[in-house]
Structure 1
């Protein structure tokens, strides 16, 4: 059996805070990484990594929207027909002006109900009715879709690339740049005046005052999976597995439960709970999450590896500065001279 773990933000992204690793016992993870050979690539978001892994070629963007639409529409009871249609994700966000920055917050830090999403998008659809075929679909409270007949799709940045960052230099660009800036401004004015946002702010909740356009394109004609099974709660990973007609299941609670269900083959397990903590620089939350991940996943996997359970095990850890992959084969478990090092060393 081969196991590939995709673990975004496995290492803390801020090198100026090495003390985050102090008194952080991770023997299972450190022992596993010690047996691995490592390669380092340029940084890319988890969405880009998944698209590339499953053969979804980049269009003007990585075509996340038409791929995840298949899953969201199917779960919503709609026919998942996206062929020849151009789709963008238009996810609800909160923008905050901070000194000379405009920072973006996503649904990691706010809640939005299905009814709120429907009321927001109903307003937008009424306003833009008949305007160049613009139509918003809130198939999930925090995942909205824009179907576009014209103009050409813009180049955008992945949502994961802009969370908790200044967005001024990351707005849509390319063909019809003026149209997209104007559309965004108009949406922001409409949302700002919506009574729902006044009610949200009165309750101490963040206003939904903008959308983030990203992941546009058409449905790829063919996808190829390097895996036989995918275990994930991430909608893009699930959608890619479904499009490739391979087995997929929600992420089990821990590696022991996963082991009881996994059979021979090539398995992708997506452990993405650290990502939001790292994006929002929640140091305490990140430490607590990785300690729990050690208990539920890394330590049991280390014991499975020592028993010869895997032909090959790989960790891929994309972050804001690079993407590192650590790979070990069954024979590497016997290389006693590869001694564990503190996780800080691997994160450099």
Structure 2
């Protein structure tokens, strides 16, 4: 059996904060990495890695929208050959001298609220020559099918979360239209009664949408994996598009082992990702401790028992990915002694 672990934000993104690793007890993870050979690549983030891994090429954007439509779309809503783009609800707020974006991981939005807000947008844009229609297929995942507007070049939502947006707005030849639309939507949402009510209740207002992940459905993605285990909607969508088995991520490696069969498995452990993006140092440390207990410790035991022909751990961090790979024979190399995890983070 081959196992590939994908762990976004395994290393804390701020290398100027080495104390984040102080007193972290991670013997299983450190022992496992010590037996591995390593290499480093450029990375554009979690969505880009998943697309590349399953044979999806970048268009102007990574085509997240038509892919996730496979999961979110109803029977009468299919990607077809149309251009689709995500237009997810977000909260913008001012920090110091910049406008910072927060996505739905830090606020709640109900189906009714999503319907109200997109209904208002659709009524407003009904007379537009661009024929824009917003589809809230999930409360926190909105879509637009674009038939008369040039495609956008955008930044992934994961690249923008908890960051200033001034330098991350749509760019390229068609940026004037998309930036203008972005500003117009802000003005419309700002004055909506629903947002006034949210403000009274102390909830973050939904005052913009973020355009990202536009494209047309890619042809025949191909997967090198026998099975994908994750709670990530894009991973699930790519599995469906490539006819690969997909199973929700179990709580632990022990439970995973009960269902895992021979083949090549991808396991996406993304519990650290949001904590790192939103600078939640305590939450990140606690989540890493939990991964050590529930995943790395039993996987280290399985590795020593010879369960894996090859085990690979890919850590995504900022614009880099670090790959740690061990074959069964490598696990017997006793001279490769463990080092603190902070050594690999630098």
TM-score bracket for the superposition, by shorter chain length = over 0.9
Q: Distance in 2 between matches of 1:176 and 1:38?
A: 41
Tell me, yes or no, if the aligned pair for 1:44 and 1:318 is still in contact at 8 Å.
no
1:113 aligns with 2:107: no
Q: Distance in 2 between matches of 1:80 and 1:53?
A: 27
Q: Secondary structure at the match of 1:267?
A: strand
TM-score w.r.t. the length of structure 2 is: 0.98
Q: Deviations over 1:130-174 (max 9, x none)?
A: 421211111111111011012111100011111111110110012
TM-score w.r.t. the length of structure 1 is: 0.98
Residue equivalent to 2:61: 61
- Aligned-residue RMSD, C-alpha: 0.9
Residue equivalent to 2:95: 98
Q: Secondary structure at the match of 1:212?
A: strand
Residue range with higher mean Cα deviation, 86-95 or 124-133: 124-133
Q: Distance in 2 between matches of 1:150 and 1:10?
A: 42
Q: Secondary structure at the match of 2:145?
A: strand
Residue equivalent to 1:303: 301
Q: Deviations over 1:211-253 (max 9, x none)?
A: 1100000000111001010001100000000111111110001
Tell me, yes or no, if the aligned pair for 1:28 and 1:294 is still in contact at 8 Å.
yes
Question: Any stretches of 5+ residues in structure 1 without a counterpart?
Answer: none
Question: Any stretches of 5+ residues in structure 2 without a counterpart?
Answer: none
1:122 aligns with 2:110: no
Which runs of 4 or more aligned residues in structure 1 lie more than 3 Å from their structure 2 counterparts after TM superposition? Answer: none
Q: Distance in 2 between matches of 1:162 and 1:37?
A: 32
Listed as ranges, the matches of 1:241-256 within 5 Å are 241-256=239-254
Tell me, yes or no, if the aligned pair for 1:153 and 1:175 is still in contact at 8 Å.
no
1:32 aligns with 2:32: yes
Residue equivalent to 2:160: 162
Q: Distance in 2 between matches of 1:208 and 1:41?
A: 36
1:291 aligns with 2:272: no
Number of aligned residues: 345
Q: Distance in 1 between matches of 2:132 and 2:76?
A: 20
Listed as ranges, the matches of 1:127-146 within 5 Å are 127-131=124-128, 132-146=130-144
Q: Secondary structure at the match of 2:287?
A: helix
Give the CA deviation at 1:302.
0.3
Tell me, yes or no, if the aligned pair for 1:37 and 1:326 is still in contact at 8 Å.
yes
Tell me, yes or no, if the aligned pair for 1:70 and 1:80 is still in contact at 8 Å.
no
